Structure 1
């Protein structure tokens, strides 16, 4: 069962400044789903806004492994949140019901943990369709 709203997740941060740090994600201990897909984005021009979609079923955790990523999420009820990811030990949980857009610093490397393999049919790329799909029943 997914959480219903986007939220920050603290990942383990092991080490110290003299030797460096490591963060580890063990299956379903920090991430609330089984990871079935891992991908990353990089060298995205700062002027480009990516994302612009929601999912029917896929849950994700977004991590700025390097650089800065601004993530805007929107729920069907109109609630909008802005998250600034810039620490590699903080992830953003994005449930299926959240429209999300992303803007990157040029040096940003985004790591994404996803609950499902890629399936184009899982994507909602039309904002009005997203609002209809996740609208609360009257």
Structure 2
């Protein structure tokens, strides 16, 4: 699979809009873990790693940030700034989150529980692993 923006349902209401996702209706995997990133100081980058097996779906619930993905040969940037769409990130993509706006809130759901052995934290090692497959 390839990374892709997934547009979520948006129920418009004068009292406030509502969006949601359900697996496997909107997501290509069953959710095993949910976490969020917030209070990121200006100029900081989060992530900077890849997963051997884990898949993720990332939504900017509030504010904005960019997700930069690298497949071992090329890089692509996805700006997230709406709470009714998110980015599906398959396994084996180097990812980093950057350019956080004030009060940005990143929601991440994944198909696996935390496993430190699933992480690749060195970019050169990632490129060798990815291009050797």
Runs of 4+ in 1 over 2 A off after TM superposition: none
Equivalent-residue separation in structure 2 for 1:106 and 1:48 (angstroms): 12
Find 1:12's aligned residue among 9, 24, 28. 9
- In structure 2, stretches of 5+ residues that fail to align are none
**Alpha-carbon offset, residue 81 of structure 1:** 0.7
Equivalent-residue separation in structure 2 for 1:128 and 1:136 (angstroms): 12
The residue number in structure 2 matching 1:128 is 124
Matched, 1:79 2:74: yes
Matched, 1:88 2:83: yes
* 8 Å CA contact retained: 1:13, 1:23: yes
* 8 Å CA contact retained: 1:45, 1:105: no
- In structure 1, stretches of 5+ residues that fail to align are none
| TM-score relative to the length of structure 1 | 0.91
**Alpha-carbon offset, residue 105 of structure 1:** 1.3
